[in-house]
């Protein structure tokens, strides 16, 4: 009998300010500026919950609320707010959310992509 893997994607958009440290002061990213960011999270599992979903949609609503509060990335990240490190931050955050949400045991964050101004970075679990 075939075994299926269910995959769900959630996309959130937010606008935020940031400064990238360590660049030349003439570099535009070294000055306070803003971007419109897109956050894409992919979850997967082999088994759905009793309702027939990977995860309660309210859990995703809490993620949207978190990104809506992320207006100054320097205040939420302990490191440079690059798209690469933002992807890692949201990967770690979503893994904590899954632990606290009593999600199905096999639900996992497959990958997280953060995009700003046409540049994107993806982080994924390597088996």
Is the torsion defined by CA of 5, 11, 97, 95 positive or negative? positive
Q: How far is CA 58 from the centre of its chain?
A: 16
Could you tell me the CATH number of the domain that includes residue 30?
3.30.479.10
Q: Which residues of 110-120 are buried (b: 16+ CB within 10 A; e: fewer)?
A: bbbbbbbeeee
Q: How far is CA 61 from CA 79, 80, 85, 108, in A?
A: 26, 26, 22, 18
Is residue 61 in a domain? yes
Model confidence pLDDT, tens digit, residues 25-80: 898 888 888 899 999 999 999 988 888 998 888 888 877 787 777 777 877 888 88
Give the domain extent around 61: 6-124
DSSP 84: H
The size of the chain, in residues, is 127
Number of domains within the chain: 1
Residue 86 lies in a domain: yes
Q: Is 35 contained in some domain?
A: yes
User: What is the overall mean pLDDT for the chain?
Assistant: 87
Q: What is the pLDDT of residues 82-93, one digit of tens each?
A: 999 999 999 998
Q: Looking up tokens 């990240």, which residue turns up?
A: 77
In a domain, 1, yes or no: no
Quick check: is 56 in a domain? yes
Beta partners for residue 113, in sequence order: 40, 122
Question: CB of 18 within 8 A of CB of 53?
Answer: no
Distance between CA atoms of 88 and 52, rounded to whole angstroms? 29
Q: Is residue 102 part of a domain?
A: yes
């Amino acid at each position: 009998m075939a075994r299926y893997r269910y995959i769900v994607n959630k996309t959130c958009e937010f606008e935020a300010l940031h400064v990238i440290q360590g660049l030349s002061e003439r570099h535009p990213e070294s000055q306070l500026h803003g971007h419109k960011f897109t956050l894409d999270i992919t979850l997967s599992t082999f088994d759905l919950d009793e309702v027939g979903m990977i995860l309660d949609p309210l859990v995703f609503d809490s993620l949207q609320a978190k990104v809506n509060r992320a207006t100054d990335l320097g205040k939420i990240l302990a490191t440079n707010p690059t798209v690469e490190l933002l992807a890692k931050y949201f990967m770690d955050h979503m893994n904590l959310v899954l632990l606290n949400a009593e999600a199905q045991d096999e639900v996992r964050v497959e990958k997280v992509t953060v995009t700003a101004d046409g540049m994107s970075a993806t982080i994924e679990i390597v088996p």
